[in-house]
A and B are shown apart, each in its own frame.
Chain A
């Protein structure tokens, strides 16, 4: 079966690439999404209920790729729903807070779960709140090297970001679409060419 048609399942809609955000409550998933989607940061914390969906088009390898991003709730009562969000995802950004070691344990839980259920889903371990550590070295409670070692073991790339300053956020998603483009030549071939000279490069909220 054509992979392109297959991955456009009922919970992926018209997007080219489904990406899911997972991780413990309050570890910064929504902030990361907000920085990526709207280039905005809010210090007011609000728990996500259920999940929020957003889409943005990114240019990669001369093509336009529409990323559909599922920002899931971290609260464990939604755990059972997790599956419907990560099913058929091409990439998962599993977040942990580098100042809270227990959030890494939760991230590992999601990594195991994904490796078990979604072979085709690429994993990205994302350490959040990098700005806190830059302010105060003592605040770091999760060692980058330890996570990288773990990442190698389970086949996940590791990156540390700050949604507050925006550091590494674009890089993270650029990496994700780059990897997607490299391993999904068939899909890429079917996508519209991008015309960088005439397109505005503002993030778009909706593409479908």
Chain B
């Protein structure tokens, strides 16, 4: 914790100083740059954050239209263009069906919590508020409806925090009375961040290193996760019809996704960087995998995305020509697979809403692991909800061909051995780094090695990355480069138009050596860029 209080000798090097030296040598050999884009890329964190918040239809041609009502919906667009009788009105039906059917008042009861242990309704709030353990959690997340109904709490049981939720709702509506929106309250170490997205209110209470904009981004992710399960229009309509509706009925089973997402937000750099990590893989294997997906899927109408992922890393992504996938949507897919152990044993068919793709409708996902002996998961996302068996057949063919070409083994080997440590770079005083290629929205980082071998140390260095990230992207005073000398670390953050780099070095490294190491690192990444990144953008 020393770093937090003792920021020793925070030297503001004139950016030109180091940058000049490095970029001279580097010229235009920037690692991981590609003109072929498959993921939506955002230039800055602010843009990304704003982008997360607003819905755009982003097409390959780069036209970004704000969605005004339904005609712009990408899902509908696909359905129209594919001109397939089978699809018909599937898209609109779903959302309305959900709302109307539930309205039909067959409202079944969610499995009840045991009522035995909270006889004293009045005391239960107190119980949590007096629990040191509960109070000291690093980051609380609460979700409630605009009318103050509890929906979710990260720790504890939401229905035992009724008065606390009431207080949050009161704060929000008090500020709303003066035609304003509450954003955050800072008190000592604690930040209280509010995201008001009718009909929901999301609140983060944190004393972690995450900055206010970062917490805001995290809440946006939580909101997107809910949209992904329900769709935005279903959520709004539900609430318009019954302001007092208990959303927990609809969200049943989603807690697991939220819990898992919140854990990932605490340690996984992909959210902070707004990028996606690829499983390092020989170009030839990746090419075979991609071609296989294309071979068996290109004739399937209505199929929008086909991708293979494992352990939160992307192996291959093939898309319908007109559409890009947003990293934020991809993160939700990672989270879905990551949080759902049961996908391993069966073939699954599920409605998935990708909020950045289309917040108002579902895609239907055929989700299954490639094989019992391969940990990678295949997702085929279509707008046609009756396509299960077509996709199931395609999956079988894909797996058969991958097996014939030894790609399953290739993937397995990569899963076991492709993670690298910072030693590979050959820069002795460099401890760890995050490198994001901005044009492709992909990033790479080494495994943690000592001194970051404990959970606590990893959390700490992640906190430092958050700090660097916050300083670099500070809205008031954005930086191109930051060089921080602390008593246990030297930190470097550097942002150019093509990349973002965050590095942790030994505390006693000289500035000159740091420059040498960073240059070396960039050259190393450049050398390996075809393995570390996906630089092409295959389509069906």
Residues of A participating in the B interface, judged by any CB pair closer than 8 Å: 10-14, 24-26, 30, 34, 37-38, 44, 46-54, 71, 73-81, 84, 100, 102, 105-106, 109
The 29 sampled A-B contact pairs (Cβ below 8 Å) are A10-B86, A10-B390, A11-B386, A11-B389, A13-B388, A14-B389, A25-B110, A25-B252, A25-B253, A34-B345, A47-B256, A48-B342, A49-B253, A49-B348, A49-B350, A50-B348, A50-B365, A51-B349, A53-B346, A53-B348, A54-B346, A73-B350, A77-B102, A77-B234, A77-B251, A77-B252, A80-B94, A80-B101, A102-B109
Note all chain A residues with C-beta closer than 8 A to B385.
81, 84
Question: Among the interface residues A30, A48, A109, which one has the most CB atoms of the partner chain B within 10 A?
Answer: A48
B229 A77 Cβ-Cβ under 8 A: yes
- Assess the A76–B250 pair: CB atoms within 8 A: yes
- Assuming A11-B386, A25-B252, is B342 touching A80 (CB within 8 A)? no
B441-479 interface mask toward A, CB cutoff 8 Å, 1 = contact, 0 = none?
Answer: 000000000000000000000000000000000000000
Partner of A53, one of B93, B110, B230, B347: B347
Which of chain B's residues has its CB closest to A34's CB?
B345
Assuming the contacts A10-B389, A13-B392, A47-B253, asked whether A76 and B108 have C-beta atoms less than 8 A apart, the reply is yes
Q: In the complex, which of the residues B347, B389, B392 has the most CB atoms of chain A within 10 Å of its own CB atom?
A: B389
With A53-B348, A79-B98, A84-B385 as contacts: A109 and B106 at CB distance below 8 Å: yes
CB within 8 Å: A-B pair count? 104
Answer whether A11 and B94 are a contact pair too, CB < 8 Å, given A25-B253, A79-B101.
no
Report how far A30 CA is from B346 CA in the complex, Å: 11
Q: Which of B342, B386, B387 contacts A30 (CB 8 A)?
A: B342
**In the complex, what residue of chain A is closest to B112 when comparing beta carbons?**
A102
> What's the Cα separation between A24 and B106 when bound, in Å?
12
Within 8 A of A (CB), among B315-351: 336, 340-342, 345-351
B51 CB within 8 Å of chain A: no
In the complex where A13-B388, A13-B392, A25-B110 touch, is A77 in contact with B250 (Cβ < 8 A)?
yes
Determine whether B66 belongs to the interface, using a CB cutoff of 8 Å to chain A: no
Q: Are B108 and A24 in contact (CB under 8 A)?
A: yes
Decide if B102 touches A79 in the complex (CB within 8 Å).
Answer: yes
Tell me, in angstroms, the Cα distance from A77 to B94 when the chains sit together. 10
| B268 CB–A CB distance under 8 Å | no
> What residue of chain A has the Cβ atom nearest to residue B86's Cβ?
A10
A112: nearest residue on chain B (CB-CB)?
Answer: B106
From B110, B234, B347, A52 is in contact (CB under 8 Å) with B347
Task: List B contacts of A81 (CB < 8 A).
Answer: 94, 351, 385
Q: Give the chain B neighbours of A37 by CB distance below 8 A.
A: 346
Contact (Cβ within 8 A) B342 A46: yes
A38's partner among B345, B347, B349, B390 (CB-CB below 8 A) is B345
Expressed in whole angstroms, the minimum distance between the Cβ of B200 and any Cβ of chain A is 15
Q: 8 other contacts beyond A48-B253, A49-B340, A78-B351, with CB at 8 A cut-off?
A: A46-B341, A47-B253, A49-B253, A50-B349, A51-B349, A52-B342, A77-B98, A109-B108
Find out whether the CB atom of B347 lies under 8 angstroms from the CB atom of A54. yes
A contact residues around B60 at 8 Å (CB): none
Min CB–CB distance B116 → chain A (angstroms): 15
Task: Determine whether the beta carbon of A80 is less than 8 Å from that of B97.
Answer: yes
For residue B71, CB closer than 8 A to chain A, the reply is no
Docked complex Cα distance between A77 and B110 (Å): 12
The interface residues of chain A lying within 8 Å CB-to-CB of B98 are: 77, 79-80
Q: Which chain B residues lie closer than 8 Å to A10 at the CB level? A: 86, 386-387, 389-390
Give complex CA distance A53, B365 in Å. Answer: 13
Give chain B nearest CB distance to A55 CB in angstroms. 9
Contact partner, B389, options A13, A44, A74, A77, Cβ 8 Å:
A13
> Roughly how many angstroms separate A79 CA and B104 CA in the complex, as a whole number?
11
Chain B 246-260 interface 0/1 with A at a Cβ cutoff of 8 Å (1 = within): 000111110010000
With an 8 A cutoff between CB atoms, is B188 at the interface? no
